[in-house]
């Protein structure tokens, strides 16, 4: 199955991948329109979740997001808002976004009535911290599959009790520093995606784009990490990923088109 691609647009001053490049509204709008032609949806983040990220007040997040969400809705491009701030999540739901993406996996149960009433798909991500941006906790890679499984079991149970339709949920096992400081962690989880898919029977989203575990492996800076990113993304697709969140959806789409033409579909 060909996965859906979510193009990443960081409207932040301190993203690890494009640090401030799209903070200017005009630059963000231009990139949003480009991604709308290349991806199946645009994942908008207005507050970085990297270690040491600047704390962004909800009202600033909303001010950054609002013109981009409005512009994308005018051209009927699917919109995903990526935020762990409940006030921003409530605002996004009120705008009728197509996806809501939370790196904490929606821990705030006061939000659940709004989640249950919304048709938006919910991307629930696992992280070793369980709250806020990534840090640098060490968790042995061999423990992660069971940790991730327990987390998803707990969240899905809470969702079901709150009347949130589970067919709207997309599971993200986390990658990079969200899985801790063990350099093997992300590779271990990527190898086990089929196990997670079989356990939960829900769509999986994977986001490895430009992440440090790949940069450290091949000793490349962010500007040169495209080939390693593509390799990891294609591996994730072969393991059953239904969604890929990526900075360069056009490159991945081209790779998949060539492989499909050659008769080597995922």
Residue 263 CA, distance from chain mean position: 29
Strand partners, 205: 243
Q: Give the pLDDT score at 84.
A: 93
Q: Which pLDDT tens digits describe the chain residue by residue (266 residues)?
A: 689 999 999 998 755 555 678 888 899 999 999 999 999 999 999 987 766 667 889 999 999 999 999 999 999 999 999 999 999 999 999 999 999 999 999 999 999 999 999 999 999 999 987 765 556 678 888 899 999 999 999 999 999 999 999 999 999 999 998 998 888 999 999 999 999 999 999 999 999 999 999 999 999 999 899 999 999 999 999 999 999 999 999 999 999 999 999 987 66
Q: Which two tokens stand for residue 214?
A: 């790949």
Place of tokens 């939000």: 111
Please give the backbone phi and psi of residue 159, each rounded to the nearest 5 degrees, phi first: -60, -50
Q: Give the pLDDT score at 50.
A: 65
Distances (CA, A) of 33 to 7, 19, 68, 257: 11, 20, 9, 22
Rounded to 10°, the helix 144-161/193-200 angle is 30
Residues 6+ apart with CB under 8 A from 91: 58, 62, 65
Q: Give the pLDDT score at 53.
A: 65
Q: Give the pLDDT score at 157.
A: 98
Q: For the whole model, what pTM was predicted?
A: 0.93
Q: Give the pLDDT score at 15.
A: 59
Distance CA 81, CA 36 (A): 14
Q: Give the pLDDT score at 181.
A: 85
Instruction: Domains for the chain: give ranges and CATH numbers.
Output: 4-261 (3.20.20.20)
């Amino acid at each position: 199955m060909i996965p859906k691609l979510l193009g990443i647009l960081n409207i932040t001053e301190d993203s690890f991948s494009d640090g401030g490049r799209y903070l200017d509204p005009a630059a963000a709008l231009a990139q949003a329109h480009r991604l709308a032609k290349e991806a199946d949806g645009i994942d908008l983040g207005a507050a970085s979740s990297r270690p040491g990220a600047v704390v962004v007040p909800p009202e600033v997040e909303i001010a950054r997001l609002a013109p981009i969400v409005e512009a994308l809705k005018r051209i009927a491009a699917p919109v995903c808002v990526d935020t762990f701030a409940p006030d921003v999540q409530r605002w996004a739901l009120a705008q009728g976004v197509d996806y809501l993406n939370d790196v904490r996996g929606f821990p705030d149960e006061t939000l659940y009535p709004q989640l249950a009433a919304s048709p938006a798909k919910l991307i629930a991500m696992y992280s070793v911290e369980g709250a806020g941006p990534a840090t640098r906790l060490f968790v042995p890679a061999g423990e992660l599959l069971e940790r991730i499984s327990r987390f998803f079991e707990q969240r899905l149970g809470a969702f079901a009790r709150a009347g949130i339709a589970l067919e709207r949920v997309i599971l993200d096992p986390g990658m990079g520093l969200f899985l801790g400081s063990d350099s093997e962690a992300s590779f271990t989880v990527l190898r086990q995606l089929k196990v997670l898919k079989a356990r939960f029977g829900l769509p999986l989203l994977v986001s490895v784009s430009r992440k440090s575990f790949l940069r450290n492996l091949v000793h490349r800076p962010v500007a040169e990490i495209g080939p390693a990113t593509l390799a990891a993304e294609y591996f994730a697709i072969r393991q059953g990923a239904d969604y890929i969140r990526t900075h360069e959806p056009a490159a991945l789409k081209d790779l998949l088109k060539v492989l499909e033409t050659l008769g080597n579909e995922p």
